[in-house]
Chains A and B, each alone.
Chain A
Amino acid sequence: MPKSVLIIDDDAGIADALSLLLGQEGYEVRVASDGGMALELLEAQPRPQMILLDLSMPGMDGYAFLRRKQQSDALARIPTFVMSAGDMDFALKELHVSGWLRKPIKLEALQQLLRKERLITNPALFV
């Protein structure tokens, strides 16, 4: 069964490029343009194994999404990584997120993250 990732970003270009890159590596990718849409997608099974989240979005932003996500035990367990241009190390605990990816996202950083989350099943991935 392919590993799945949910991308939450209002920038369609970033979301599309990321999902294309991950899709090419065999991941099943779903995209939401804001937190509200992401919560709707998360109601369906199977749930993703990882979430990549932008914080600044119109509609329900990343902060509000994280608060709602924490209210559900099932959703709180899904590792979530914030995509941010600024250093987020100081806020990880408070936001209840597993880590962050610096924007603009580099292929190597994404690869490292997937390895860390044991989401790389194909040894030839990204090679």
Chain B
Amino acid sequence: MRDATSDGPGLEEEINRRVAQNTEQMKAAIDGRDDLLSVAAHEIRTPLASLRLYLDALIKAADRGKLDPVEAGVRLRKAQRQCDRLNILLSNLLDISRSPSRKLSVVLEPLDLVVVVKAVCDRLRDQFTHQGRTLDVVTPVDQLWGDWDRMRLEQVLTNLITNAQKHAPASPVRVEIAVRGEDKVAVTVADSGPGIKPDDRDRLFKRGTQPASSGGLGLGLWIVAQIVTAFGGTIGVESEPGRGAAFTFELPRRPGPPGGS
């Protein structure tokens, strides 16, 4: 007959070890979520603060009866851009909180990439101008069609451009479209900022492994990679410290406009 007590201390030790391990993991997960919530609150507060200041300025001008309709339009569009920024941030947050097992939702429709790239850059350009910087679009063609999700494509472009804006201060940013063969297109967002260290470069697109110095949610690039993958594309970065960074994503495309020959 087997002596039940002989396994006792070993089993108890194993149970205690596993409980301690699980507790540690849960604590780390809770701490991680707390950190994320804290950073997210900060990130959301920033565009809200700008929105509030734009509205303060508008209200003051209106109260004085000095609100020029053209100027009011300009300011309202600036306020609208802060709402767009909030929308992108909240989309990012929802993507982050999504369980890794759930697929990213994309609603594909025929889109002209050139139009989308230009629209996103037009929305962001005045912020660059204000900082004494340029945001240029380079495209070899007038239109390039593909089946993509407009909101997601804008999210990718906005995340990459604002990432360059934040991490390459005072540097111009160039968004370049390139046709790759019959069925692919590439978009590169390049800056001439401080560049990325090789160690950091390898983990840029991974969830929760962004460089500590990156600030913010630090998850924008992870989300960008998720969306590009959902479109059936790929993303990469070329960078050397001190020589800027160029993020390029490649997507499958249609050979021509929908319904075209």
A-to-B contact residues, CB < 8 Å: 10-21, 24, 31-34, 36-37, 56-60, 85, 103-105, 107, 126
Contact = CB atoms under 8 A, between A and B. Distances in A.
B253 interface: no
A56 B215 contact: yes
Nearest to B53: A17
B75 A20 contact: yes
A18 B61 CA distance: 14
A56 B167 CA distance: 12
B219 to A, nearest CB: 17
B49 A10 contact: no
A11 B131 contact: no
Contacts of B45: 85, 103-104
* 5 pairs of A and B residues whose beta carbons are closest in the complex: A12-B127, A104-B49, A13-B50, A17-B53, A59-B169
B247 interface: no
A36 B130 contact: no
A26 B14 CA distance: 72
**B interface majority secondary structure:** helix
A24 to B, nearest CB: 5
B49 A103 contact: yes
A13 B61 contact: no
B215 A21 contact: no
A60 B169 CA distance: 9
B160 to A, nearest CB: 15
Given A10-B166, A24-B60, 6 more contacts: A14-B50, A14-B53, A17-B57, A24-B61, A58-B166, A104-B48
Contacts of B193: 59
B170 interface: yes
B132 A20 contact: no
Given A24-B57, A31-B130, A13 B82 contact: yes
Given A24-B60, A58-B169, A58-B215, A15 B49 contact: no
B165 interface: yes
B50 A10 contact: no
A19 B46 contact: no
A19 B166 contact: no
Contacts of B152: none
Nearest to B61: A24
B85 A13 contact: yes
B200 interface: no
**Residue from B49, B52, B61, B132 having most chain A Cβ neighbours under 10 A:** B49
B62 to A, nearest CB: 11
A58 B165 CA distance: 10
B252 interface: no
Contacts of A36: 169-170
Interface in B38-91: 42, 45-54, 56-57, 60-61, 75, 78, 81-82, 85
Interface string B23-50: 0000000000000000000100111111
A28 to B, nearest CB: 15
A12 B128 contact: yes
Nearest to B57: A21
B194 interface: yes
Given A33-B131, A37-B169, A85-B42, A16 B57 contact: no
B109 interface: no
Contacts of A58: 166-169, 194, 215
B81 A13 contact: yes
A21 B56 contact: yes
B122 interface: no
Nearest to B55: A17
